[in-house]
Amino acid sequence: MNKSLLVFLPLDCTFDFSKFDKAGLNMAKTTEKVKKTFVLDTNVLLHDYKCIHNFEEHDIVIPITVLEELDRFKKGNDTINLHAREFTRELDKLSGDKLFNGGLTLGKGKGKLSIATGAEPSKKLATSFPENTPDHRILAITENLHILRNGSPVILVTKDINLRMKAKSLGIMAQDYHNDMVQNIQDIYEGVKINENIKGEVIDSLYANPEGVTKAKFGIRTDPVAHQYFIFRNESRSALAHYNPFSKKVERVEKERTFGIEPRNAEQAFALDALNRPEIQLVALTGKAGTGKTLLALASAIHQRKLYTQIFLARPIVPLSNRDIGYLPGDVDDKIGPYMQPLFDNLSVIKQAFKPQSKEYMKIEELQRTEKLVITPLAYIRGRSLSRVFFIVDEAQNLTPHEVKTIITRAGEGTKLIFTGDIQQIDSPYLDTKSNGLSYLADRMKGQDIFAHVHLVKGERSYLADLASTLL
C-alpha cells in the first residue's frame, strides 16, 4: 500500500512515491505536474498577506516561528502592521474551528496550507549556524521537509537575500516571491522615445497644427502606447510630442513654465505635460535624485489648485519605521520632521521663485495655513478621503505593490495620483528594482488611457550633484 501525504509537520510527513521512477527525481510515464511544497518566510506574508492564494495547486507550509514573528508586528499603524493583522485574520477565517493536523484546503484546484511545529536541525546546519534564531529554525524546518518529501521539491520562499544564500549553501532550494515582480525592468524606461531623421516639413506640421497630426506622418504604423512621449529630430530641427490616445493624434509639447518652475530638459517638459493634463489621472515619475520629480509634481499641484479641494504631499518613513522612530527626541512633529524636510525643501524652491510680497508667494502661505496643502507621512493618510485630491506620493520605490494598490483603489472622483521615486535607490531590505511598488505600477498600468509614465534622466540640481549621482 502506498503511503499518503500527511500534512501534520514535521515528523509525520510522508509522500506518495508511486508516481516516481527509481531515482526518485523524474515522473514515470506521466505528464502530470510535480506538486511542490513552498515554505513561506515572515517577510513574504508582510509583503503580501494574500500570498497564500497565489501558489496554484502546490502545498504551503508556514513555520510556527513565522506566526511568532507575526505576533510582534501586529501592533502599530504602519502597513506591515496592517498586513500582519490581516494575515492572522485570513488564517483564522480559513481554519474556523478546524485543527491543523489535517491541513487546510485553500479551495478547488488549490493545495493545502499547513503549520510546521518545529524540527531538529541537522548536524550540518547546527555546525554552520549554531545560533538559535528564527531564520535558522525556518531553515531547519525546510531542511527536514526536504528530507521527508524525497523526490518532491521543497522550496523556501523569502525576500531576505541572505537567508536565500544560507538555504542554497545547505542544498535547499530558495527563491524570492515573484507574483508581483516586473519581468523585464527595461520596459518601464520606455516612456520617452527618440525618432531620428524626421523630415523638416513633418516637424513643421506639428507647429502648424496645435490640434495634432496623424501618426502616419511620422512613419508610425501601429498605435503607440497611450500617452507615449516622443522627441522628433533631424540634423537641424527638433520637436517634442505626445500621443493622445483619445484623438489618435500626435500633439506638440511646449516647454511651459508652471508656477515659477521652468522645465530645463525634454523629460521635464513631458513630466509637466502629463501632470497638467486633466485626462491623465495617474502619473509615475521615475529618475535618479535631482531630476526634479517631486518639484515638478508640487508645482503642477499648486498651479491646478482650483481643480482640487486639497493637495497631499506624502512619503513613507522607511528607515526608522514605527518601532525605531520613538527613540528620537521630542513630540510627533519633531520625530517625523527630518523625514518630511525634503518635501518642505521642494516647497521652498517654488516659493523662492517669487517675491515674499507677491500674490503667488502669499497663495502658497495661505494654502499651508488653511491646510489646503498638507505635507505628511504616508501612514497618516490612511482613512482620509481622497475625493478631488491632488495626491503626490514621494519615494514610492519604498512601497510594496500591495501598498500602491491600496492607495490607488481609495481614490475618489476627481482625484489625481502622482507617484515619484528612484527604483535604483531602495531603502527597504525586502524590495528591489523588480519587486517595488513603483516598478509594479509602471509595468501594470502601461497602455491605460488615464496613465502616463515619464522617466527623467538628467539631474538638474547642480553639476556637482549630477556628477556624483553618475560616477559614485
Give the pLDDT of residue 275: 97
pLDDT digit string, tens, across residues 121-135: 999 999 999 899 999
pLDDT digit string, tens, across residues 142-169: 999 988 887 789 999 999 999 999 999 9
Res. 337 pLDDT band, cuts 50 70 90: low
Contact 278, 227 (CB under 8 A): no
Rounded to the nearest integer, the mean pLDDT of the chain is: 83
Do 216 and 363 share a domain, yes or no?
A: yes
Distance CA 164, CA 314 (A): 33
Rg of the chain's alpha carbons, rounded to an integer? 27
Find the range with the poorest average confidence among 64-78, 90-104, 199-213.
90-104
Residue 253 confidence (pLDDT) above 90:
yes
Q: Give the mean model confidence (pLDDT) for residues 174-188.
A: 78
pTM above 0.85, yes or no: no
Residue 240 confidence (pLDDT) above 90:
yes
CB atoms within 10 A of CB 362: 12
Domain assignment present for 88: yes
Do 432 and 453 share a domain, yes or no?
A: yes
Residue 472 confidence (pLDDT) above 70:
no
Give the pLDDT of residue 376: 83
Residue 25 confidence (pLDDT) above 50:
no
Give the pLDDT of residue 79: 75
Domain assignment present for 180: no
Residue 6 confidence (pLDDT) above 90:
no
Distance CA 130, CA 335 (A): 38
Q: Tell which wins on pLDDT, 442 or 15.
A: 442
Do 105 and 142 share a domain, yes or no?
A: yes
Expressed in angstroms, the distance from the first to the final Cα of the chain is: 65
Do 410 and 459 share a domain, yes or no?
A: yes
Do 135 and 234 share a domain, yes or no?
A: no
Q: Give the mean model confidence (pLDDT) for residues 14-37.
A: 49
**Concatenated DSSP letters of 392-447:** EE-SGGGS-HHHHHHHHTTB-TT-EEEEEE-TT----TT--TTTSHHHHHHHHSTT
Give the pLDDT of residue 30: 39
The domain that holds 99 is classified in CATH as: 3.40.50.1010
Point out the domain boundary residue: 123, 151, 175: 175
Domain assignment present for 10: no
Please tell me whether residue 381 adopts helix, strand or coil conformation: helix
> What percent of the chain lies above the pLDDT cut of 70?
83
Domain assignment present for 302: yes
Q: Containing domain of residue 112, as a range?
A: 37-175
Do 166 and 225 share a domain, yes or no?
A: no
Phi, psi of 445 (to 5 degrees): -90, -5
Do 157 and 204 share a domain, yes or no?
A: no
Do 241 and 364 share a domain, yes or no?
A: yes
Do 260 and 241 share a domain, yes or no?
A: yes
Residue 278 confidence (pLDDT) above 60:
yes
Do 166 and 273 share a domain, yes or no?
A: no
Distance CA 355, CA 358 (A): 5
Point out the domain boundary residue: 175, 203, 238: 175
Res. 471 pLDDT band, cuts 50 70 90: low
Give the pLDDT of residue 393: 95
Give the pLDDT of residue 345: 85
Q: Tell which wins on pLDDT, 155 or 7.
A: 155
Domain assignment present for 67: yes
Domain assignment present for 220: yes
Do 365 and 443 share a domain, yes or no?
A: yes
Do 253 and 366 share a domain, yes or no?
A: yes
pLDDT digit string, tens, across residues 94-149: 888 776 666 788 888 899 999 998 888 999 999 999 899 999 999 999 999 988 88
Point out the domain boundary residue: 175, 197, 222: 175
Domain assignment present for 267: yes
Give the pLDDT of residue 101: 66
Residue 4 confidence (pLDDT) above 60:
no
Quote the number of domains for the chain.
Answer: 2
Residue 252 confidence (pLDDT) above 50:
yes
The domain that holds 457 is classified in CATH as: 3.40.50.300
